[in-house]
Amino acid sequence: MSQNGNNHIESRLWSAADELRANSKLKSSEYSVPVLGLIFLRYADYKFSLAEKELTGKQTGRRTIGPADYHARG
């Protein structure tokens, strides 16, 4: 991901946090865990899609890609 893309994501996260602080009675400690969970899930989805592209590029024959292929990749 480019630096420009990271800056865009960072600004979106900060604006979302500002909106939660301003328009909600929640404290940052109360919404930080769900937000961090969503960030982690987004990262895991990104890593999975990279692995999927790599594995489908290497696929030969009739053998289908399974969980063991993803586990072997790490």
Over the stretch 17-50, which tens digit does the pLDDT of each residue have? Answer: 788 778 878 777 887 887 888 889 888 888 888 8
Q: Which residues contact 13 (CB under 8 A, 6 or more apart)?
A: 35, 39
Residue pair 55/70 in contact (Cβ under 8 Å)? The answer is yes
Residue type, 37: G
- Is it the case that residue 3 has pLDDT exceeding 70? no
Q: Domain total for the chain?
A: 1
Residue pair 59/65 in contact (Cβ under 8 Å)? The answer is yes
Domain residues for 59? 3-73
Would you state the pLDDT for residue 57? 82
Q: How far apart are CA 37 and CA 40, in angstroms?
A: 5
Report the predicted TM-score, pTM, of the whole model to 2 decimal places. 0.57
